[in-house]
Amino acid sequence: MRNKNPIDALFPKIRQSILAATYGQPERWWFMSELAAFIKITPSSLQRELGSLVESGILRGRRDGNRLYFQAEMDSPIFAPLRELITQTLGIPEKLKKSLLPLAKRIRCAFIYGSVARREEHTRSDVDLIVIGSVGLAEISPVLHELERRFNRQIDVACYSADEFGAKMRAENHFLISVLKTEKIFLIGDDDELEKLAGESNGAKSQHRQTRNRKLTRVG
């Protein structure tokens, strides 16, 4: 059973942190000392890694007086696949999953939907999250605050008990039905578990089965 992140075999930890920051916010120019503070490393340790990544065409750099700035090289032919790899292994979905794991026994299903799941996100796009189980917003919010700070992104979470979710689906709640028709990234649980939670209503099940023809992703 795999217990290591596959990106550990590709990049050392410092480089992972650089790529997670720059490819997580590819439109942002990072001042070197700002990036060093963000990933909690000294600027002197960071400088060589940044230089190597610029020479490789993975990052781009620019100088403004005595200040050096760095950004993801979005014109690189490997930008899209590398960003996908970073997102899957070091990005918000993976970090969200790890943050929710201590509560996993009380969560039946948790998934991201919206622009992040559709791979249409921008630097400032909110992260839309639904959590179904016996945990409430008061418990989950503190877990998410650090991720919001780290990724400079707002995480909008909706929490439902299993009974509440099933009841809303049987009542054909417009919001939930529209969400279930879209792409999802599962953090906890999967599509089968979500169908169970949708309840025994034929209408609810019929609406949910339409999502099986859409792209579903599971983290981990």
pLDDT (0 to 100) of residue 217: 63
DSSP 87: H
Query: Which CATH fold topology does 91-218 show?
Result: Beta Polymerase; domain 2 (3.30.460)
Measured CA to CA, the distance from residue 104 to residue 133 in angstroms comes to 9
Measured CA to CA, the distance from residue 101 to residue 23 in angstroms comes to 25
CATH class of 6-82: mainly alpha
Count CB-CB contacts under 10 A for residue 192. 10
For the whole prediction, is pTM greater than 0.95? no
Give the pairing of strands 127-133 and 59-64.
unpaired
pLDDT (0 to 100) of residue 215: 52
- Please check whether residue 182 is in contact with residue 134, taking contact to mean a CB–CB distance below 8 angstroms: no
Q: Where in the chain is the domain with CATH 1.10.10.10?
A: 6-82
How do the pLDDT tens digits run along the chain, 220 residues long?
455 677 888 889 999 999 999 998 888 999 999 999 988 899 888 999 999 999 999 999 999 998 999 999 999 999 999 998 998 888 888 889 999 999 999 999 999 999 888 887 776 788 999 999 999 999 999 889 888 887 878 999 999 999 999 999 989 999 999 999 899 999 999 999 998 898 744 444 445 555 554 555 666 6
Query: Which amino acid belongs to residue 42?
Result: T
pLDDT (0 to 100) of residue 218: 62
pLDDT (0 to 100) of residue 25: 85
SS3 5: coil
Q: Where in the chain is the domain with CATH 3.30.460?
A: 91-218
